[in-house]
């Protein structure tokens, strides 16, 4: 939705009904047909709008779909305080997983990410519209944990890289399991993943079966797992 552009104010104003109808139509088409099956003409027809009206707002497929998808995600960005870092992470994992369970989010996200691998402008748009936005969840959770005393306060170093690392790890795992491995994410998986993230691999060497969580280790103080190490 770019070129309604600058100061000008004359002529017939754009229909906001059309805006909504087009985004809704795009979302619906994306679910049914996928990125490559989605056509601008079809979106216009679904929205009951002329093709011109679509192109007047979005210059091409990418732009339209990015807006359609991000609008979808914007409604979902919340991180309720569940009382502990561990619970917060489990919560966000399940929340994100639930979001990716919706076919429109799933298809749309992957489609624009794929397209972005060869389109720098699209990539940076995704970065700003999606990644940076979601990163606030990590920052917020981190700050909250620091206030609770679960994590030490910032020691003066820039926390960005740390935040990025954790964001990529959490989001990556969820996305990969859902979209690449193609397995669903349930409470048990969320629990085990949180355990791994907080305590580390060396702290729970495969003793956990599915749905059979290991006892919460505090800072991984499990002597047996340290046995073979210097």
Partner DNA sequence: ATCTAATCGAGACGGTACGTCCTGTCTTGCA
Partner DNA sequence: TGCAAGACAGGACGTACCGTCTCGATTAGAT
Restricting to residues 208-227, which ones interact with a second copy according to CB under 8 A? 208-210, 212, 219-222, 224-227
Please name every residue paired with 209 in a beta bridge, in sequence order, or none if there are none.
212
State which of residues 45, 131, 133, 140 lies at the interface with a second copy (CB under 8 A): 131
Q: SS3 of 51, please?
A: helix
CB atoms within 10 A of CB 31: 16
We find the least distance from the C-beta atom of residue 183 to a second copy, in angstroms, to be: 7
Task: State which residue, 67 or 225, has the beta carbon closest to a second copy.
Answer: 225
* Cβ proximity to a second copy, 19 vs 33, nearer residue: 33
Q: Which of 23, 30, 38, 203 binds DNA (CB under 7 A)?
A: 38
Give the alpha-carbon dihedral of 100, 120, 27, 105, to 10 degrees. 0
What's the closest the beta carbon of residue 194 comes to DNA, in angstroms? 41
Give, as ranges, the residues between 55 and 114 that touch DNA (CB under 7 A).
55-57, 59-61
- 73 with 105: CB under 8 angstroms? yes
The answer to whether 201 contacts a second copy (rule: CB under 8 A) is yes
Q: Encode 179-192: b = buried (16+ Cβ within 10 Å), e = exposed.
A: eeeeeebeeebbbb
- Residues 105 and 99 sit within 8 Å (Cβ to Cβ): yes
The contacts of residue 161 (CB under 8 Å, 6+ apart) are none
- What is the footprint of a second copy within residues 162-191 (CB under 8 A)? 162, 164-169, 171-177, 179-183, 189
> Within 13 Å of residue 221, how many CA atoms lie on the same side as its CB?
2
Q: Which is nearer to DNA, 36 or 207 (CB)?
A: 36
Pick between residue 14 and residue 147 the one whose CB is nearest to DNA. Answer: 14
Chain positions 33 to 92 lying near a second copy, rule: CB under 8 A, are 33-37
Q: Under a CB-based contact definition with an 8 Å cutoff, are residues 178 and 184 in contact? A: yes
> Under 8 Å CB-to-CB from 111, ≥6 apart: which residues?
30, 34, 35, 65
Structure tokens, 226? 């340290």
CB under 5 to 8 A by kind: which of DNA, a second copy, none does 79 bind?
none
Q: Which is nearer to a second copy, 19 or 220 (CB)?
A: 220
Stretch of residues binding DNA (CB under 7 A), selected from 36-44, 65-73, 108-116, 172-180: 36-44
Q: Which residues pair with 212 in a beta bridge?
A: 209
> Which residue from 3, 83, 103, 184 is in contact with a second copy, where contact means CB under 8 A?
103
Q: 59 or 77: whose CB is closer to DNA?
A: 59
Instruction: Give residues in contact with DNA (CB under 7 A).
Output: 4, 8-15, 18, 38-42, 48-53, 55-57, 59-61
């Amino acid at each position: 939705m770019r070129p309604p552009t600058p100061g000008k104010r004359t002529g017939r104003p754009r229909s906001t009904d059309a805006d909504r109808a087009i985004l809704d139509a795009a979302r619906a088409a994306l679910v049914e047909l996928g990125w490559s099956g989605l056509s601008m003409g079809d979106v216009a027809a679904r929205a009951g709008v002329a093709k011109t009206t679509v192109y007047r707002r979005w210059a091409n497929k990418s732009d339209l779909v990015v807006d359609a998808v991000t609008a979808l995600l914007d409604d979902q960005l919340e991180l309720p305080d569940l009382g502990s870092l561990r619970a917060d992470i489990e919560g966000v994992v399940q929340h994100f997983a639930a979001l990716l369970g919706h076919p429109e989010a799933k298809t749309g996200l992957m489609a624009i990410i794929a397209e972005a691998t060869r389109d720098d402008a699209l990539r940076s748009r995704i970065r700003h519209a999606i990644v940076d936005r979601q990163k606030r969840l990590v920052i917020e959770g981190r700050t909250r944990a620091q206030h609770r005393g679960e994590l030490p306060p910032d020691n003066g170093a820039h926390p960005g890289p740390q935040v990025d690392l954790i964001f990529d790890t959490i989001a990556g795992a969820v996305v990969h399991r859902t979209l690449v491995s193609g397995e669903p994410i349930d409470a048990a998986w969320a629990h085990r993943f949180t355990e791994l993230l907080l305590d580390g691999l060396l702290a729970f060497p495969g003793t956990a079966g599915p749905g059979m969580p290991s006892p919460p280790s505090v800072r991984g103080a499990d002597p047996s797992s340290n046995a073979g190490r210097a």
